[in-house]
Amino acid sequence: MADLFGEDAPARPGKATDEVASSRPLADRLRPRTLAEVVGQEHLTGEGGVLTRMLGQRSLGSMIFWGPPGTGKTTVARLLATQVDFAFEQISAIFSGVADLKKVFEAARLRHRNGRSTLLFVDEIHRFNRAQQDSFLPVMEDGTVVLVGATTENPSFELNAALLSRARVLIFRAHDATSLAKLLERAEAAEGKPLPMDEAARAALVRMADGDGRAILTLAEEVWRAARPGETFDVAAVQTVVQRRAPVYDKGQEGHYNLISALHKAVRGSDPDAALYYFCRMVDAGEDPLFLGRRLVRMASEDIGLADPQALGVASAAKDAYDYLGSPEGELALAEAVVYLATAPKSNALYVAYKAAMRAAKENGSLLPPKHILNAPTKLMKDEGYAAGYRYDHDEPDAFSGQDYFPTELGRQRFYDPTPRGFEATLAKRLDHWAKLRRERGGE
């Protein structure tokens, strides 16, 4: 009998074989034997899927499998090698170095000379440095190996452009509730017994798996081990038995940036409920609350600005409150700021004005301000016209002189264009009033 994931070995039926099989983890025993059995990746392995089409042509190219843990990347790679009769080699970038790569390449070259191809599966390929990634290029180009690299990180950021240009990126999706439920049904069929839990507990178990197929089977195993005869678990009992699996979240990688982006956009989109949800997701996953506080300050100035000048004060106060109180009390102050910012009137007029003014400052060099607004502390400066004709605004009608303050060579500019929302509506009226006075008094 051929072992799907190793070398061919003779079958030795009997009690000992059964005991060995039953001692294997459930996730290993339920590993799919064909692409059709793979759950949750139908866009790749279903009828008309990318991989199904490749196998139909009996032609494989190098690929990068990108997706979260427990979505079947390793399993699919093994199945591909089996179905096209390629030799299968597997290494992990965590445990392998240059010497290991050389051995694998030499073995693949020998097979290639003898007319057999090699599928080289590299787990955690993003952990190889740039030079190590470059070492794959020659053996990919001459057909010595078909490379299948697996990564949980965004290949655009973690892999060489040269490697990506020679490999197709296929995205593995996190399991949804439907595919996780299907895995539980397979587990129950394989074990010949239902999971001892009510429907609410079953739904909770699916949520705990966090889109990881391997995790849902491991959690199911723990439930079966813990249940006494005739016992049925509710949600609280299941949480006690299996504990709670930590969310998949790496504070230095893509998950971090995805969630902070979602939080920022929910605040910008005036959705306090979604904003609170992403805020809590990040806090629950162990994000530094002070990082969140700093981002809230940024949101206040970028997306609210002068539509609600208090927003910046609220965000800054929330950050300071967390710094003063610490966890867990301080998170509530940050949550208050999240809701305040999400429900505040929105304006990016200040942000746009800042960028436009910065661009003008960089592009126009060191232009001298008009002489009438320069101080003249010396006789020479007075003789040169410094301060000549300056009108003190407080002495003018409406405390407004209407003078031009821009450099003469630049001319008058308009950077800040307030929206009609929130406090900016008041600012817009003031600016319109001053523009009218400026025209009347010859300032523009």
Q: What mean pLDDT is predicted for residues 51-62?
A: 86
Rounded CA separation 241/225 (Å)? 10
* pLDDT of 7 over the 60 cut: no
H-only helix segments in 288-414: 289-299, 310-325, 330-343, 349-363, 379-383
Which residue, chain included where needed, has tokens 């910046």? Answer: 312
The token pair that represents 431 in the structure block: 């600016």
Q: What mean pLDDT is predicted for residues 79-90?
A: 90
pLDDT in tens, 102-116: 999 999 999 999 989
Predicted confidence at residue 190, as pLDDT, reads: 92
For residue 267, give the H/E element and its range: helix 254-268
Predicted confidence at residue 372, as pLDDT, reads: 86
Where exactly are the structural domains of the chain? 31-171, 254-343, 363-440
Q: What mean pLDDT is predicted for residues 45-69?
A: 89
> Exposed, middle or buried: residue 342 (CB in 10 Å: 0-12, 13-18, 19+)?
buried
* pLDDT of 401 over the 70 cut: yes
Residue 271: left if φ>0, alpha if ψ -120 to 50, beta else—which one?
A: beta
Rounded CA separation 388/307 (Å)? 38
Range with lowest mean pLDDT among 15-24, 42-51, 423-432: 15-24
The whole-model pTM stands at: 0.64
Mean of all residue pLDDT scores within the chain: 88
Predicted confidence at residue 252, as pLDDT, reads: 59
Predicted confidence at residue 22, as pLDDT, reads: 59
Give the DSSP letter string of 186-242.
Answer: HHHHHHTS--SB-HHHHHHHHHHHTT-HHHHHHHHHHHHHHPPTT--B-HHHHHHHH
Q: What CATH number labels 31-171?
A: 3.40.50.300
The residue type at 435: A
Q: What mean pLDDT is predicted for residues 404-424?
A: 91
Please tell me the class of the 363-440 domain.
mainly alpha
Predicted confidence at residue 298, as pLDDT, reads: 96
Confidence of residue 322 (pLDDT cuts 50, 70, 90): very high
Q: What mean pLDDT is predicted for residues 295-305?
A: 96
Predicted confidence at residue 251, as pLDDT, reads: 59
Predicted confidence at residue 286, as pLDDT, reads: 79
Q: What mean pLDDT is predicted for residues 161-187?
A: 93
Q: What mean pLDDT is predicted for residues 277-287?
A: 89
Confidence of residue 440 (pLDDT cuts 50, 70, 90): confident
63 — phi, psi (to 5°)?
-140, 155
Q: What mean pLDDT is predicted for residues 120-138?
A: 92
Confidence of residue 71 (pLDDT cuts 50, 70, 90): very high
Predicted confidence at residue 443, as pLDDT, reads: 53
* pLDDT of 4 over the 70 cut: no
Contacts (Cβ under 8 Å, ≥6 apart) of 85:
116
| Topology (CATH level 3) of domain 254-343 | Zinc Finger, Delta Prime; domain 3 (1.20.272)
* pLDDT of 319 over the 90 cut: yes
* pLDDT of 1 over the 50 cut: no
The token pair that represents 110 in the structure block: 């020998």
Percent of the chain with pLDDT over 70: 92
Q: What mean pLDDT is predicted for residues 291-299?
A: 96
Enter the DSSP assignment of 3.
Answer: -
